[in-house]
Amino acid sequence: MSNIEEIMNNPCHIHFVGIGGISMSGLAEILLDKGYSVSGSDSRSSPVTERLESLGANITYGHYAENITDDISYLVYTAAVKADNPELITAKEKGITVMSRAVLLGQIMSKYPTAVSVSGTHGKTTTTSMLAEILLEARYDPTILVGGILKSIHGNVRVGKSGYLVTEACEYTNSFHSFISTIDIILNIREDHMDFFKDIHDIRNSFKVFADKLDESGVLVINSEINDLSYFTNDLKCRYVTFGQDKNKSEFYPENITYNQFACASFDIMKQTVCFDNGVCRFTNPVKTAHVDLKVPGEHNVLNALAAFAAADIMNVPPEAAARGLNAYSGTDRRFQYKGERNGVTIIDDYAHHPDEIRATLTAAANYPHRKLWCVFQPHTYTRTKAFLTQFASALSLADEVVLAEIYPARETDTLGISSRTLCEEIEKLGKSVHYLPSFEEIEKFLLKNCINGDLLITMGAGDVVLIGENLLK
């Protein structure tokens, strides 16, 4: 047994670099519950770090070599931590074992008889939250790790006492290859994170490796609409379950879909029997298993709900409880989140930062009551903006008015010669009304002058664009 594999058998002192991050804080809270000594560092205090301190974590603000004491057994870091981080350097000098967040999470997962990993380019947070609501409704007492704030658990983590765990699984840097699951969900596979992956084939291979890690006792839940599905399902050691809109390709599919005035779907969930005829997969005996009335908008959430329902079915959750859980889900922070109203203008915030996500959100918004649809978009990273420039322009053109903030660089320092002005020029080519205003202050003044009673304003992006809507409401 390796040093890292012993971690879950021996409660010890673990130090987190960037402990206030939404993913790191969840792992820290789980370890605190299990009796570990937890320390960490972060750039500044936040409600997340204050909560961890109340649970017993020792947190220092600022990254310093002296934070690494000799009694630390393991140091945990994320992809955002650079090689010149003084805590990382000191830990290596002291011979302390360092590991990525993904490796630690994989070791935690290995101790749960049922561990679910929710993967996909889009929809991970929503689907993880939907499945969490289902397991809570069914009283499975799950441990939950979600990449957003889920109202029903008052945060991003819940430490349960049962053998059930559900978590998001991100493909960036192939981190989900370190996860040890019994059920994997693949929602969709699109081009993204092009600062790491070479191309779509590289991304598909990463998901293939992820699926192949499941052993004979595992189950893969996969979207039947993924291109060349057999690439992922052939030669699997585990069995697989499909979901999707097409009843000719899906074990779980929706029927009788209707949308209310807020673009939220109601539909029946159908389940079919799967059989193989000379190696050909066929579906027979469709049965209505549940009726669902979602409280979150958009066609994309129908598929997210189907994926969560299929995973719950594998876990033997009664279909009535699964439907109640889906009906109870009202969204997570920054996923088409209603923020408030000012002078008759409804303000929504959404985390969408990929062209497919933007298109899905704006399509849903088109069915939401409004006079004119405004989208304030903050591109996220230079590499993503450059890789999807024309796709961003096309997706954003679904709004009546587009306002662009400057690019949020996140971990990047090289601008690649691109800015939001470049995107503005691309949108102008499509004949759309677009405004490029570099500062939040300029944007807020512009919106106060131009948005009028009956308009719908969506702040959109993975950076801090949410502050614009919040400032307007103040």
Residue with tokens 């908008």: 297
CB neighbours of 316 closer than 8 A, spacing ≥ 6? none
385 is catalytic: no
223 and 254 Cβ atoms separated by less than 8 Å: no
125 is catalytic: yes
d(CA 190, CA 360): 14
| Amino acid making up residue 416 | L
**Dihedral of the alpha carbons of 45, 333, 139, 306, in degrees to the nearest 10:** -140
Rounded to 5°, angle at Cα 140 from 137 and 145: 90
d(CA 473, CA 451): 13
379 and 461 Cβ atoms separated by less than 8 Å: yes
| Amino acid making up residue 326 | L
Of the residues 87, 133, 137, 168, which is catalytic?
168
Of the residues 125, 167, 346, 361, which is catalytic?
125
| Amino acid making up residue 148 | G
Neighbours of 295 (CB within 10 A): 15
d(CA 125, CA 453): 32
**Residues recorded for the chain:** 474
Half-sphere exposure of 367 (CA within 13 A, CB side): 17
Of the residues 87, 124, 127, 401, which is catalytic?
124
Measured CA distances, 471 to 195, 341, 344 (Å): 32, 12, 16
Which H/E stretch holds residue 394? helix 389-396
Number of H helices, E strands in the chain: 15, 21
**Helix boundaries (H) for 110-176:** 124-137
| Sign of the dihedral defined by the CA atoms of residues 315, 320, 325, 329, in that order | positive
CB neighbours of 230 closer than 8 A, spacing ≥ 6? none
237 is catalytic: no
Half-sphere exposure of 149 (CA within 13 A, CB side): 11
Rounded to 5°, angle at Cα 54 from 48 and 57: 80
What is the radius of gyration, based on Cα positions, of the chain? Answer: 23
Instruction: Supply the residues annotated as catalytic.
Output: 124-125, 168
